[in-house]
Amino acid sequence: MRFLLHDGESLGYDFRDFEAVLEFARDHADDTLFIYTRATNIELFTSALSAERATYIGYSKHDSLRLSPALLAQRLGVAEGSSFAFGDLHALAARKPKLPSGQIVPSGDGYLDPPTPMVEHYQGRLNAIARATAAERVVFAVVSGLKPLSDVGENASQRLEEGRRQTYPLESVAGVAAHLQGAFAASGIAVVPLCVQYGNRVDVLSQVNAIQHAKPLRHPLQVVEDVDWNELPLQQAAFYLALKRFGSAHRLPVLAFGNASTYLHLILAAAGGFDAMAVALHGYPVVHRRDGRPYWDELGACLSSLRTFRQQTAGDWTHVSASIARYLESAIARAFSTPQQVAVALGERTSQ
């Protein structure tokens, strides 16, 4: 049979659905698959599901002439009832455990397969950052804020307002990083925040530099320049896998905290997750049916490494920041929970 799989309302970069795509492909090994998705995703998708197994059809982000899945299915000779949005495939993955909403529980193992040379390149990049950090043991934290425009809303004004509501401010991200850096400085542990931001690179760097100038961090927010955070998810996935391997190689935890956003889906898909992930959720009333907060709450209830923190008062991130800081401080402390572990870590630091 012929099947058309398309990213539908996921907007082409919601990788929580990709495990369901792979499961469907495994269950239909003798069928013909067409995958219709953002063109920038195709490299990433083929790293786990080769072009020999599926025919990929891409569209550009701002393609006003994008074909409807129904019309495309007709052109490809896909029978009625054999076209599925990625999000529909969760229900067909009978062997996979499900969240209450019916979506697949992430496996805990990375199921994307970025090219080894690319992963090794970013491992070298991380090692260089670590060596430049005053000979301290480096706990890397992937951080994200600054989301001026949401993906939901009927027009630009609504998307801007939703972006304002959803955004966990980069200033708050920096505040949590400062707390963690201060808490562990005396132990010779450096918490280095790696800033993951979608958007215009010049604007992002300007914001990051302004924050560092206004309230300097011991270890500043860093934007890794040789990762394209907007258009190349394959690079992003390779970077997250490199981070996971850095932590494993050096017996150090790796963290992620900030907005509920695509970067978290990719961390789960590429690396299976990090040692501790904290998700900041806004407290405004639901105004769009694509509100993603229930998904993150469900995920936080079933993944021990992920916690969600929701505003007590809409627009006020104070409690969220304090709670995230306590959670991550505890996670780092647990990673060095015995004198022997601390001695090993500090011994390796002085020998480097």
Find the helix or strand (DSSP H, E) in which 184 lies. Answer: helix 170-184
For residue 167, the model assigns a pLDDT of 86
In a domain, 304, yes or no: yes
Q: Are residues 147 and 16 in the same domain?
A: no
pLDDT tens readout for residues 125-163: 999 999 998 767 999 999 998 666 666 677 778 777 777
Q: Give the pair of three-digit tokens for residue 153.
A: 């809303």
Do 75 and 125 lie in one domain? The reply is no
Low-confidence ranges of the chain (pLDDT < 50): 340, 344-352
User: What confidence score (pLDDT) does residue 338 get?
Assistant: 55
Q: Is 98 helix (H, G, I), strand (E, B) or coil?
A: strand
Among 92, 108, 140, the domain-final residue is 92
14 token code pair: 């919601």
Q: Would you state the pLDDT for residue 230?
A: 84
Residue 108 lies in a domain: no
228 plus 272 within the same structural domain? yes
Q: Which residue has the tokens 């393609």?
A: 63
* Residue 306 Cα distances to 43, 117, 277, angstroms: 28, 29, 5
DSSP string across 116-144: HHHHHHHHHHHHHHHHTSTTPEEEEEEEE
Give the pLDDT confidence score for residue 214 in this predicted structure. 92
Burial of 322 (0-12, 13-18, 19+ CB in 10 A): middle
Task: Give the pLDDT confidence score for residue 334 in this predicted structure.
Answer: 93
How many domains does the chain fold into?
A: 2
258 shares its domain with 294: yes
Range of the domain at 7: 2-92
- Chain centroid to Cα 141, Å, comes to 12
For residue 237, give the CATH number of its domain: 3.40.50
| Residues 230, 129: Cα–Cα separation, whole Å | 22
Question: For residue 250, what pLDDT is reported?
Answer: 93
For 24-76, what is each residue's pLDDT tens digit? 999 999 999 999 998 888 998 898 899 889 999 998 876 767 889 999 999 99
In this prediction, residue 282 carries a pLDDT of 93
What whole-number distance in Å separates Cα of residue 272 and Cα of residue 254? 12
The answer to whether 277 touches 264, Cβ cutoff 8 Å, is: yes
User: Looking at the structure, do residues 45 and 133 belong to the same domain, yes or no?
Assistant: no
Q: For position 64, what pLDDT does the model report?
A: 63
What is the pTM (predicted TM-score) of this model?
0.91
CB 204 within 8 Å of CB 223:
yes
Q: Of 59, 57, 44, nearest to 3 (Cα)?
A: 57
CA dist list (Å): 92 to 3, 7, 104, 268: 14, 16, 10, 21
Quote the DSSP letter at residue 278.
E
pLDDT value at residue 341:
52
pLDDT value of position 147: 63
Of 20, 33, 25, 28, residue with least CA distance to 96? 20
